[in-house]
Structure 1
Amino acid sequence: MKFLRHFLLFLLLFVVSCSTAYNPPSFEKASKATAKDLNAYWGGNEEFNKKLVLSVGRIKIPPYRLMPGDAVKVSVFGVEELEDLTGKIDAAGKVSFPLVGSVKIGGLTLAEARKVVKKALETYVMNPKVNLEVTEYKGFRVSVLGEVNKPDVYSLTGTRTVLDVLAMAGGLTDKASKTVILTHIGPEKNTVLYLNLDKLVDNMKFFDELMLKPGDILYIPKAENIYVDGFVRRPGSFSLTQPTSVTAAITEAGGMKIDADPTQVAIYRTLKTGEKKMIKVNIDNIRNGEEKNIMLQPNDVVIVPSNGLKVFVYHFFGFGWGPSGPTARAGR
């Protein structure tokens, strides 16, 4: 019995000494190890699309402003000759009515346009009660391209926002990033905006950049990937749709297996110069606040190694090893 105890102690010390000398695999091996799962995406944008649908209609959008090509109807209460007067706003933003003549209402809200028409009529009618409404919107077209479920050119009327059109386009695909590139086509030069969709949806309020203009182009780029492999429950690729830390990536991968070694995690990164870099990470220290959590970059490869001592102890005391960790052997 004494010999057996010494023998067990020797084996434990031997395993401990071996397990502390961790040599991460080469960058090439780490990359090949995840290649089989490059098409596995977790989570996708289903939750974002749900929030997108809920947000449409809840954002307080400013009043519509009349534009050239809109058809309007004016009626003056109690004056039969001035009922149902119609006209179309010309390229200069003006429209003509009997008595009133030509008035400029392009670019105004309906409330502002009513005041302009009322003031013009006061010369002929005492305190006129004016109603003005849009009978036909000119409409405009915008293009939605990239990682949406229904990319197309959409014909719009009235006041429309980026979120409206993304909802019309069926929301984002699972591979989409949370950035929309919005291009306003100008007469002399184009204006390009990069919008954070999470910010737009979560704040639930109106932003100036939400408004769409005729000829706008919305492009949703594909999110780049990171890869998690080794002793995690769901190794594979993860679509980098938002800033992600190494601990968050491991969580997305189902968390570490029971035989994983959290102190010897490695991040493999390709720099812009083409140089390969390996970063060692101690997850325990990050959780304890002793180390800063590392934010991952596109195409980073995270490798979680095994803990040799844990594997030895479980095997020695009669446990088998299944996909999720130790399992009791038959007869034990």
Structure 2
Amino acid sequence: MRLLRVLCCCLLALGWGIRAWADSNYLVGEGDVLRISVYQNPDLETTVRVSGDRSILLPLLGNVSVKGLTIPQVSAKIAKLLSDGYIVNPQVNVFVAEFRSKKAVILGHVKNPGVYELAGPTTLLELISKAGGLAENAGDSALIKGKKEDGSETSRTIDIKALLEAGNLSENLSIQDGDNVYINKAGFCYVSGEVQRPGAYKIDNKTTVIKAITLAGGYTGKASRRSVNLVRIINGEKKTLGSASLDTPVEDEDIIVVPESFF
């Protein structure tokens, strides 16, 4: 829950002025829909889809290549072509009506996993927001897989907890076209026996036996504080590790049993 609250605060802090900034930096691609208007020339206003060869069909000009161009560059190119014998000092406005050319996949423990269009430069936090935010059982890490220009694969594990709670923005990577993002499931341990609130508790890589007991409300008055039993799944089978030290790291699906004191 804490990560979810921090995520909401981070997204609010980012603001929602992303669209205009994204349009100015966005490289036009196949399938994008552009809305184009020319000041005081309503007959030239048009909405066009970028073709497979990265061109658009415009009144007066015919096919115009927009390959490798940003929105301001598309606007400048159209203005230059129109000024060559058609209109004096044309003022051209280009707006991306539909972002369709660049996509990323986000799966795992988000509220709405799926394929999302990238409206210009998009960070990991922004992609998580598009997917409805983290699910209740989301873990503290994400895996991002992509490809370099030479076709070789890349893979990086992101510490979501460090990003959200410690503000480590180096973890807020820019998501690229074709990236696959997987939000891992949180680990859980089970605390039973003489604790205040027996049950399942979310853990991270710093959770120890004593921290898990604290999450469960601490010991009851009848608890034995001298020994704690730890049950762990090893090779698919439950193994009782016997009395565990309180600073023993807890692993996913561990069972911690606090026995009753007989003295």
Q: TM-score range by the shorter chain?
A: 0.5 to 0.7
Structure with more contact order per residue of length (Cα contacts < 8 Å, sep ≥ 6) = 1
Partner of 1:179: 141
Q: Against the structure 1 CA distance between its residues 268 and 206, is the aligned structure 2 distance closer, same or farther, given a 3 Å change threshold?
A: closer
User: Does structure 2 retain, via aligned residues, the 8 Å contact 1:144–1:217?
Assistant: yes
Determine whether 1:67 maps to 2:21.
no
Structure 1 counterpart of 2:96, one-letter code? V
1:227 equivalenced with 2:190 (yes/no): yes
Q: Which runs of 5+ in 1 are unaligned?
A: 1-45, 284-292, 310-332
Q: Aligned pair in 2 of structure 1 residues 145, 83: CA closer, same or farther (>3 Å)?
A: same
- CA offsets 1:161-181 (integer angstroms, 9 cap, x no match): 554554455544443323333
- SS of 1:52's equivalent in the other structure is helix
Q: What count of residue pairs does the alignment treat as equivalent?
A: 251
Structure 1 or 2: more helix by fraction: 1
1:142-189, Cα deviation, whole Å (9 max, x unpaired): 5554444455x4564634655455445554444332333344489956
State the Cα distance separating 1:103 from its structure 2 match. 4.7
- Residue among 240, 244, 254 paired with 1:300: 254
- The equivalent residue for 1:209 is 173
1:82-161 alignment runs, 5 A limit: 83-97=44-58, 103-121=64-82, 123-124=84-85, 127-138=89-100, 144-151=106-113, 153-154=114-115, 156=117, 158-159=119-120
TM-score (norm 2): 0.68
Query: Which residue of 49, 56, 59 corresponds with 2:4?
Result: 49
> Shift of residue 58 of structure 1?
3.7
CA displacement at 1:228 relative to structure 2: 2.1
Q: Deviations over 1:3-57 (max 9, x none)?
A: xxxxxxxxxxxxxxxxxxxxxxxxxxxxxxxxxxxxxxxxxxx343344344445
User: 1:58·1:204 contact (CA, 8 Å) conserved in 2?
Assistant: no
CA distance in 2, matches of 1:101, 1:150: 41
**For residue 50 of structure 2, what is the amino acid of its counterpart?**
I
On the 8 A contact 2:227/2:243 being kept in 1, the answer is no
Q: For residue 250 of structure 1, what is the aligned residue in structure 2?
A: 213
Question: 2:131 & 2:98 partners in 1: Cα distance?
Answer: 24
| CA shift in 2, pair 1:208/1:251, >3 Å | closer
Secondary structure of the structure 1 residue equivalent to 2:138: coil
Using the alignment, how far apart are the partners of 2:234 and 2:155 within structure 1?
28
1:9 is matched with none
Does the CA-based 8 Å contact 2:30-2:53 persist in structure 1?
Answer: yes
Single out whichever of 229-238 and 182-191 deviates more from structure 2: 182-191
Could you tell me how far 1:210 is from its partner in structure 2? 4.7
Deviation at 1:84, TM superposition (A): 1.7
Fraction of identical pairs, as percent: 24
- The one-letter amino acid of 1:209's match is L
Q: Under a length normalisation based on structure 1, what TM-score does the superposition of the two structures give?
A: 0.56
Aligned-pair CA distance for 1:138: 2.6
Distance, in Å, in 2 between the alignment partners of 1:105 and 1:279 is 69
Cα 1:56–1:175 shift into 2, 3 Å: same
Structure-2 change in CA distance of 1:172 and 1:128 (3 Å): closer
More strand as a share of residues: 2
TM-superposition CA deviations, 1:247-283 (whole Å, max 9, x none): 32111111122343445445455667988645642x5
Q: In 2, are the aligned partners of 1:235 and 1:253 still within 8 Å (CA)?
A: yes
